[in-house]
Structure 1
Amino acid sequence: MKSQKLPLAAEEIRKEIKTLIPQITTVEEDENGNKKFGGDALLVLISRMKAALEIDVTWEGRLRYWSKSTKLDLRKQGYLIPLSDEVQVNPGGVLPGGSFIQVNNEPVLGAGATTLFIAPR
Structure 2
Amino acid sequence: MLPDTAAIRRKRPGLLRRGVVLQHDNATPHSANLTQQWLQRYGWEILPHPAHSPDLAPSDFHLFGPLKRHLGGMAFETEDDLISELRNWFDNLDVDFFQVGINSLLSLWQKCIDLHGDYVEK
TM-score in terms of structure 1 length: 0.23
More strand by share: 1
By relative contact order (CA 8 Å, sep 6+), the higher-ranking structure is 1
User: With structure 2 as the length reference, what TM-score do the two structures score?
Assistant: 0.23
